[in-house]
Amino acid sequence: MRLLIIGGGPGGYVCGIRAGQLGIDTVVVEQAKAGGTCLNVGCIPSKALIHAADEFHKLSGYDGRSALGITAASPSIDLSRTIAWKDGIVARLTGGVQGLLKKAGARLITGQAEFLDGKTVQVTTDAAVLRIVAENVIIATGSEPVELPFLPFGGKVISSTEALALDAVPERLVVVGGGYIGLEIGTAFAKLGAAVTIVEATSKILPQYDSALTRPVMASLEALGIKLMLDTKAKAASDTGLMVETADGEIIDLPAERILVTVGRRPRSQGAGIPGLSLDMDGHFIRIDENCRTSMRGVFAIGDVTGEPMLAHRAMAQGELVAEFLSGKKRVWDKICIPAVCFTDPEIVTCGLSPDEAKSAGIETTTGQFPFTANGRAMSMEAENGFVRVVARKDNGLILGLQGVGEGISELAAAFAIAIEMSARLEDITAIIHAHPTLGEALHEACLKALGHSLHI
């Protein structure tokens, strides 16, 4: 066999589809369902829950006080039906992945893979134990939630996987971890009616983002009644909830029906016989080169198992790259930027360098920021809380980074990435006619501001 892919998540299945299209004899082994974590218990179901929560929350606010003049009487939600709807979306997408693999000529096997050596993998299925020898093997085993030793998963202590399968809204939910997963799910349940408390051990939420981007999110958390406890450490589950220690040393018992632990994810690099290959490692991540090759000939690795950023679209791009590389095409990983989206309320998008990152790199920059309070489309959507910011070289206007926060701003991620990957300058963006009225006009205006001649502020 030419190619064996271990893991059928975004990286693995995209690699399998592209390899099949290129005529490479390919088998994909997935231990659970096609689509991996992202499609089954991560990206897709979480966004479905967020959408349902947003719709319910908006309806709940239309009680006669709405400036729009809309009145709705006592809305309610049956979370079990919501979850069934979410599961239907997942089923459609997993079925689609299976169909695309089959159409491309790649074979999908459901089973547990175990390396016997760098070329031989044993696959245990429900029906048989298979031994597959492949010329090339790709490790695409993904990642899993980090479990705290003093808060093991089970009972009322849950990970994001269990949170996305609850059939009833908990009356009180404590979220351990103020990163994007905890805030996304915590915000959704607050909108569904839960009393939510977020416990974060550090002094700020979303530590990867600067305060200008997180400030609107903080305001939204407060407006939703979410209690935010910073510099607070989770200690242990109690009979009634979660014991925590505040910054001043006070021990508090937070009441909770559910405790959602979202303190990060770790690569699945310790199973499937991977340690026996003695690959070069970077901590728990597998070290790769510009072609996603590991230190062992014929063994590649893609996605979360290879390091940050642990994003589905990074894994997809790597999977496509490896398939084309194996087909003989000249492909190397030379991406300038990888966009990242945080689906909080409001959403956050980052792409390329932030002002602080550019400064740390010794680059003299100019920035431009345009608020959605001056954007007609945002006003008409009641979505004025946020802005778009551009970071460019001061000497020639080359765009180094784009960031934004606002309702629906995730849809600008592609425009941000295109501008940076195509090496656009400020004048390139301002020369493009942006449709009116749209949120995308904020990108145009931010670039105008950086050039010193903004029109609408």
pLDDT tens string 12-37: 999 999 999 999 999 999 999 999 99
Per-residue confidence band for 69, with pLDDT thresholds at 50, 70 and 90: confident
How do residues 78-109 score in pLDDT, each as one tens digit? 999 999 999 999 999 999 999 999 999 999 99
Return d(Cα 218, Cα 223) in angstroms, integer: 9
Q: Which domain holds residue 236?
A: 157-263
355 in the Ramachandran plot: left (φ > 0), alpha (ψ -120 to 50) or beta?
Answer: alpha
Here the tokens at position 248 are 């001043």
pLDDT at residue 29, rounded to an integer: 98
Q: Is residue 457 part of a domain?
A: no
The pLDDT value given to residue 64: 62
Inside any domain, residue 68? yes
Q: Is residue 361 part of a domain?
A: yes
How far apart (Å, rounded) are the C-alpha atoms in residues 66 and 78? 24
The confidence score (pLDDT) of residue 256 equals 98
427 and 287 in a single domain? The answer is no
Q: Domain with 416 in it: what CATH number? A: 3.30.390.30
- At 211-258, the pLDDT tens digits run 999 999 999 999 999 999 999 999 999 999 999 999 999 999 999 999
Neighbours of 22 (CB within 10 A): 17
Query: Given the DSSP bridges, would you call strands 112-115 and 285-286 parallel, antiparallel or unpaired?
Result: unpaired
- Which residue from 8, 6, 323, 267 is spatially nearest to 142, judged by alpha carbons? 267
Find the mean pLDDT for residues 112-117.
96
pLDDT of 152 higher than 90: yes
- Is the pLDDT reported for residue 65 higher than 90? no
CA angle 343, 185, 314 (to 5 degrees): 45
pLDDT at site 346: 98
Q: Which residues are catalytic?
A: 436
Residue 231 CB contacts under 8 Å (≥ 6 apart), including other chains:
200, 201, 202, 203, 246, 247
Same domain membership, residue 317 and residue 348: no
* CATH number (domain holding residue 102): 3.50.50.60
Residue 332: inside a domain:
no
Statement to judge: residues 442 and 378 lie in one domain = yes
Q: Are residues 208 and 356 in the same domain?
A: no
Give SS3 for 392: strand
Q: Is residue 151 part of a domain?
A: no
Number of domains in the chain: 3
Q: State the average pLDDT over residues 102-129.
A: 96
Mean predicted confidence (pLDDT) in 111-120: 96
Residues 194 and 47 both lie in one domain = no
Nearest to 13 by CA among 43, 39, 41: 39
Pair 246, 282 in one domain = no
Residue 72 has a pLDDT of 82
- Residues 10 and 135 both lie in one domain: yes
The per-residue pLDDT for range 196-215, each reduced to its tens digit, is 999 999 999 999 999 999 99
User: Does residue 11 form part of some domain?
Assistant: yes
Q: How many residues does the chain have?
A: 457
Q: Are residues 164 and 251 in the same domain?
A: yes
Number of other CB atoms surrounding residue 398 within 10 Å: 16
E strand or H helix at 370: strand 365-371
354 pLDDT tier (thresholds 50, 70, 90): very high
Say how far apart CA 221 and CA 151 lie, in whole Å.
Answer: 25
The answer, yes or no, to whether residue 62 has pLDDT greater than 80, is: no
295 in the same domain as 202? no
Strand arrangement of the beta sheet that strand 340-342 belongs to: 340-342, 347-352, 399-406, 387-393, 365-371
Clarify whether residues 361 and 436 are in a common domain.
yes
Task: Give the pLDDT confidence of 402-442 residue by residue, as tens digits.
Answer: 999 999 999 999 999 999 999 999 999 999 999 999 999 99
Average pLDDT over residues 171-192: 98
Residue 63 has pLDDT above 70, yes or no: no
26 within domain boundaries: yes
| Each residue's pLDDT tens digit, 271-319 | 999 999 999 999 999 999 999 999 999 999 999 999 999 999 999 999 9
CB 128 within 8 A of CB 8: no
User: Does residue 376 belong to any structural domain of this protein?
Assistant: yes
Question: Mapping DSSP to helix (H, G, I), strand (E, B) and coil, where does residue 112 land?
Answer: strand
Given the DSSP bridges, would you call strands 285-286 and 281-282 parallel, antiparallel or unpaired?
Answer: antiparallel
Q: Are residues 162 and 91 part of one domain? A: no
Residues 295 and 248 in one domain: no
Instruction: Give the mean pLDDT of the chain.
Output: 96
- Residue 60 in this model has a pLDDT that exceeds 90: no
